[in-house]
Structure 1
Amino acid sequence: MPYHPKACTLLYGVSCLLDAVDGMAARALNQTSKFGAVLDMVTDRCTTSCLLCFLAAGYPRYALLFQGLISLDFASHYIHMYSSLATGSTSHKTVKSDVSRILWYYYNDNRTLFFVCFANELFYVCLYLNKFYTTPLLPTSWIDWLIHTFLGTTAAHPEKAWRLIHAFPGWTNLIVWFLRQLTWPQILAAVTGPICFLKNVINVVQFWKASKILVGLDLHERAVARSKRE
Structure 2
Amino acid sequence: MAQKPSEDNVYLFVPNLIGYARIILAFISFYYMPTNHIIATWCYIISGALDAVDGYAARALGQSSKFGYFLDMLTDRCATMCLLVVLSLFYPQYTILFQLSMTIDIASHWIHTQSAIMKGSDSHKKIDLSTNPVLKHYYGNRIVLFMMCAGNELFYSMLYLLHFTTGPVFPLGPLSFGFFSFVCVVTAPVAIVKTLISLVQLYAACQNVVSIDVEDRLKMKQ
**TM-score, normalised by the number of residues in structure 1:** 0.77
Match of 1:225 in 2: 220
The structural deviation recorded for 1:27 is: 2.1
Following superposition of structure 1 onto structure 2, how do residues 90-129 of structure 1 map, counting pairs within 5 Å? 90-129=122-161
Superposition map of 1:2-13 within 5 A? 2-13=34-45
1:158 is matched with: none
Percent identity between the two aligned chains: 43
Which residue does 2:63 correspond to in 1? 31
Letter in 1 for 2:75: T
Look up the SS of the partner of 2:169 in the other structure: coil
1:51 — aligned with what?
83
Contact 2:166 2:180 in 1 (8 A): no
1:73 to 105, 112, 116: 105
Alignment of 1:128-147 (within 5 A): 128-134=160-166, 137-139=169-171, 142-143=172-173
Q: Output one character per residue of 1:5-59: Cα deviation in whole Å (capped at 9) or x when no partner.
A: 0111111111111112322321222211222212211111000000000111111
Shift of 1:183: 2.2
CA positional deviation for 1:88 = 0.6
Query: Partner of 2:72 in structure 1?
Result: 40
Give the structure-2-normalised TM-score.
0.80
- 2:166–2:181 CA contact under 8 A, matched in 1: no
Matched to 1:200, the amino acid is T
- Distance in 2, matches of 1:62 and 1:119, equals 20
Match of 1:164 in 2: none
- Residues 157-168 of structure 1 aligned to structure 2 (within 5 Å): none
Q: Which residue of 2 aligns with 1:193?
A: 188
Match for 1:223: what amino acid? L
Structure 1's consecutive aligned runs of 4 or more residues displaced over 4 angstroms after TM superposition are none
Cα distance, 1:226 vs structure 2 = 2.3
Instruction: Decide which of 26, 37, 52 is 1:20's aligned counterpart.
Output: 52
Larger Rg: 1
Structure 1 gaps of 5+ residues are 144-175
Match of 2:202? 207
In structure 2, C-alpha distance between the alignment counterparts of 1:7 and 1:67, rounded to whole Å: 25
Opposite residue 195 of structure 1, the aligned amino acid is V
Aligned residues: 190
Residues 84 and 125 of structure 1: is their aligned pair in 2 closer, same or farther, counting only changes over 3 Å?
Answer: same
1:138: how far off? 4.1
Cα RMSD of the aligned pairs, angstroms, is 1.7
Q: Secondary structure at the match of 1:92?
A: coil
1:211 and 1:45, CA in 2 relative to 1: closer, same or farther beyond 3 A? same
Q: Secondary structure at the match of 1:10?
A: helix
1:97: Cα distance to partner? 4.4
How far the C-alpha of 1:135 sits from its partner, in A, is 6.8
What is the rounded CA distance, in whole Å, between the counterparts of 1:47 and 1:37 in structure 2? 16
In structure 2, list runs of 5 or more residues that go unmatched. 1-32
